[in-house]
Amino acid sequence: HAGEGAWTPTADGNRRRVLLHTDELMMVEFGFDKGGVGALHSHPHVQASYVAEGRFEVTIDGTTEILGTGSSFIVPSNLIHGVKALEAGRLVDSFTPHRADFLD
């Protein structure tokens, strides 16, 4: 399943769209306004994220870094993580396996 999906508002005031997915892999774009927060959370999926635009404060397992456009990070399964947008920006996240909760 490929193609640009429609933007969907998220519960925390941001937006996301599923770019493509199979049972094994999913790619999702998230859009944030300045100050937008992706609250601390965890999930069983392994996540690889690319900062497509902007600067983000990224916290993974209690360690916080500031990452800008062109940076990447990996979140291992079940680690608590979250982000804060220091300016308007976009993240492109890949998940394995796919996030069934994003297909509803």
pLDDT above 90 (res 31): yes
d(CA 21, CA 3): 9
pLDDT at 102: 86
pLDDT digits (tens, 9 = 90+) for 43-99: 999 999 999 999 999 999 999 999 999 999 999 999 999 999 999 999 999 999 989
**DSSP-derived secondary structure letter, 23:** S
Q: Which residues pair with 60 in a beta bridge?
A: 63, 81
- Tokens standing for residue 54: 């902007």
Residue 96 class from Cβ within 10 Å (0-12 exposed, 13-18 middle, 19+ buried)?
A: middle
Give me the domains of the chain, ranges plus CATH numbers: 17-102 (2.60.120.10)
pTM > 0.75: yes
Taking CA 50 as the corner, what is the angle to CA 47 and CA 52, rounded to the nearest 5 degrees? 145
pLDDT above 80 (res 7): yes
pLDDT at 101: 85
pLDDT above 60 (res 25): yes
pLDDT at 4: 65
Q: Secondary structure of 35-102 in the HEC alphabet?
A: CCEEEEECCCCEEEEEEEECEEEEEECCEEEEEECCCEEEECCCCCEEEEECCCEEEEEEEECCCHHH
Q: Which residues pair with 99 in a beta bridge?
A: none
pLDDT at 5: 79
